[in-house]
Amino acid sequence: MEEARGYNIVTAMKSAVLIIVTVLAAAPVAQRETARPPAAAGANSEKQIPPVSYVCPMAQDAEVVEDTPGKCRKCGMQLVPARLDSVWTCPVHGAVIKDAAGKCPLDGRELIQVTMSVTWTCRNTNISAMAPGRCADGSPMQTMYVARAHGDHNPKHGGQFFMAPDNRHHLEGAVPYAGVFRLYLYDDFTKPLPRDQMRTASARVVIQPVDRKADGIASAQSFTLVPVRSGRYLEAKIGKTALPAVLQAKVKFQADQPEHVFDFAFERYSKEPIVSPSALTTAPAASAPSSGSPAAMAEPALATPAAGPPASAAGAEPVPSGVDPALIPLPIPDTVPEILAQLRTRMDQIKRLIDEAAFAGVYFPAFQAKDLAIALEARQDDLPADNRTRAESAIARLVRSAYLVDMLADIGNKQQTLEAYEQIAAAVRDIESAFKK
Nearest-angstrom CA–CA distance, 162 and 411: 5
**What pLDDT is recorded for position 93?**
66
Neighbouring residues of 38: CB distance < 8 A, sequence distance ≥ 6: 120, 132, 133, 134, 140, 141
Question: Of residues 324 and 106, which shows the higher confidence score?
Answer: 106
Nearest-angstrom CA–CA distance, 240 and 124: 58
The neighbouring-strand residues paired with 263 are 248
Same domain as 330, residue 293? no
Nearest-angstrom CA–CA distance, 385 and 177: 60
- Asked whether residue 319 is domain-assigned, the answer is no
**Helix, strand and coil percent figures for the chain, each rounded to 5:** 30, 20, 50
pLDDT digits (tens, 9 = 90+) for 395-413: 988 888 887 787 777 777 7
CA dihedral 153, 158, 159, 162 (to 10 degrees): 0
The residue out of 112, 147, 182 marking a domain boundary is: 147
- Asked whether residue 246 is domain-assigned, the answer is yes
The answer to whether 406 touches 20, Cβ cutoff 8 Å, is yes
pLDDT, average across residues 143-159: 86
Nearest-angstrom CA–CA distance, 233 and 156: 12
- Percentage above 70 pLDDT, the chain: 72
Burial of 140 (0-12, 13-18, 19+ CB in 10 A): middle
The answer to whether 141 touches 132, Cβ cutoff 8 Å, is yes
The domain in which residue 370 lies consists of 325-435
pLDDT, average across residues 297-312: 34
**What pLDDT is recorded for position 183?**
96
**What pLDDT is recorded for position 397?**
87
- Asked whether residue 313 is domain-assigned, the answer is no
Can you spell out the DSSP letters for 176-192?
A: -STTEEEEEEE-TTSPB
For residue 259, give the CATH number of its domain. 2.60.40
The answer to whether 157 touches 184, Cβ cutoff 8 Å, is yes
Single-letter amino acid code for the residue at 129: A
Mean pLDDT of the chain: 74
**What pLDDT is recorded for position 330?**
61
Same domain as 181, residue 270? yes
**What pLDDT is recorded for position 120?**
92
Same domain as 344, residue 255? no
Q: Among 111-125, 162-176, 297-311, 358-372, where is mean pLDDT lowest? A: 297-311
Q: What's the pLDDT band for 304 if we cut at 50, 70, 90?
A: very low
**What pLDDT is recorded for position 202?**
93
The residue out of 147, 178, 213 marking a domain boundary is: 147
Question: Of residues 94 and 243, which shows the higher confidence score?
Answer: 243
Nearest-angstrom CA–CA distance, 292 and 279: 15
The answer to whether 172 touches 160, Cβ cutoff 8 Å, is yes
pLDDT digits (tens, 9 = 90+) for 170-221: 999 999 989 999 999 999 888 899 888 888 899 999 987 655 444 444 567 8
pLDDT digits (tens, 9 = 90+) for 364-382: 788 888 888 888 988 888 8
Residue 145 pLDDT more than 90?
A: no
Structurally, how many domains does the chain consist of? 3
Single-letter amino acid code for the residue at 429: R
Same domain as 256, residue 214? yes
Same domain as 172, residue 103? no
- Asked whether residue 318 is domain-assigned, the answer is no
The answer to whether 66 touches 54, Cβ cutoff 8 Å, is yes
Same domain as 31, residue 135? yes
Highest-scoring range by mean pLDDT, 87-96, 123-132, 204-213, 214-223: 123-132
- Asked whether residue 312 is domain-assigned, the answer is no
- Asked whether residue 393 is domain-assigned, the answer is yes
Highest-scoring range by mean pLDDT, 17-31, 84-98, 318-332, 374-388: 374-388
Same domain as 302, residue 344? no
Same domain as 389, residue 291? no
**What pLDDT is recorded for position 303?**
32
**What pLDDT is recorded for position 286?**
35
Neighbouring residues of 193: CB distance < 8 A, sequence distance ≥ 6: 169, 185, 186, 187, 201
- Asked whether residue 415 is domain-assigned, the answer is yes
Question: Of residues 363 and 185, which shows the higher confidence score?
Answer: 185
- State the angle between helix axes of 385-411 and 414-435 in degrees (0 to 180), rounded to the nearest 10: 160
Give per-residue burial for 18-36: e unless 16+ CB within 10 Å, then b.
Answer: bbbbbbbbeebbbebbeee
Side-chain half-sphere exposure of 240, counting CA atoms within 13 A: 4
Residue 16 pLDDT more than 60?
A: no
The neighbouring-strand residues paired with 86 are 115
The residue out of 147, 168, 201 marking a domain boundary is: 147
Same domain as 167, residue 268? yes
Same domain as 198, residue 231? yes
Same domain as 300, residue 334? no
- Percentage above 90 pLDDT, the chain: 21
Q: What's the pLDDT band for 11 if we cut at 50, 70, 90?
A: very low
Task: Give the sign of the dihedral formed by CA 193, CA 195, CA 197, CA 201.
Answer: positive
Same domain as 136, residue 55? yes
Q: Among 9-23, 65-79, 106-120, where is mean pLDDT lowest? A: 9-23
- Asked whether residue 93 is domain-assigned, the answer is yes
